A and B are shown apart, each in its own frame.
Chain A
Amino acid sequence: NAGVTQTPKFQVLKTGQSMTLQCAQDMNHEYMSWYRQDPGMGLRLIHYSVGAGITDQGEVPNGYNVSRSTTEDFPLRLLSAAPSQTSVYFCASSPNDVGTQYFGPGTRLLVL
């Protein structure tokens, strides 16, 4: 199993550009989440999903959209990138409500 995969590994955007961060898992996990990691702030939840077709907002959802059309994929969309969205983004999946979250390798995003 590949586990949780994320693409791209690194991306540079200009302010106002849009892009989609890809996340896929091959473990048939129902729960998936997106976090951003900033120095000194730990990981903060952006959006999460408890199954295909169901998404909800986390702690810092502004400027981001998600969808969950399949169990495997959970893309994160930046609608109009801002320098404040410069961060490392992690996707995670879990088999159930109290299950361990398995993390992808992360996407490092720089917004100029």
Chain B
Amino acid sequence: AQSVTQPDIHITVSEGASLELRCNYSYGATPYLFWYVQSPGQGLQLLLKYFSGDTLVQGIKGFEAEFKRSQSSFNLRKPSVHWSDAAEYFCAVGLTGGGNKLTFGTGTQLKVEL
């Protein structure tokens, strides 16, 4: 069965520090991948997406992610975290021809210490 794992439930970083959120997937075919962010009481906002091509993807708010097929990973990074980045982050995976069905990870809650 297809699955997406976000191994870190909570992460706390200091403002200005670097950030890496992990995402691993288990799929039989090459997937397309997303990172979404959710602020409290809000819907989900797209940060970035990988479909094909360059495996290093740039997104909004200074985020980037790297698709590593050999490790089945799509980790999210940011070189310097801002207090406004505190939110919950979700990795999601879909399959081409799959009807745009996404499988989401369980999320990582990011806390930023000032």
| Chain B contacts to A: CB under 8 angstroms | 4, 6, 9, 32, 34, 36, 42-46, 49, 51, 90, 92, 94, 96-107
Complex Cα gap A31–B42 (Å): 22
Q: Which residue of B lies closest to A4 (CB)?
A: B43
Q: Is A86 an interface residue (CB 8 A)?
A: no
Q: What count of chain A residues pass the 8 Å CB interface test?
A: 27
Complex Cα gap A41–B6 (Å): 11
The 3 closest A-B pairs by CB, nearest first: A42-B104, A31-B100, A103-B43
Contacts of A58 in B (CB 8 A): 101
Proximity bits, A88-103, B CB within 8 Å = 1, else 0: 0010101011111111
**Chain A at the B interface: mostly helix, strand, loop or mixed?**
strand
Partner of A50, one of B43, B94, B100, B104: B100
Q: Is A25 an interface residue (CB 8 A)?
A: no
Complex Cα gap A41–B88 (Å): 12
Complex Cα gap A86–B6 (Å): 24
CB distance A97 to B43 under 8 Å? no
CB distance A31 to B105 under 8 Å? no
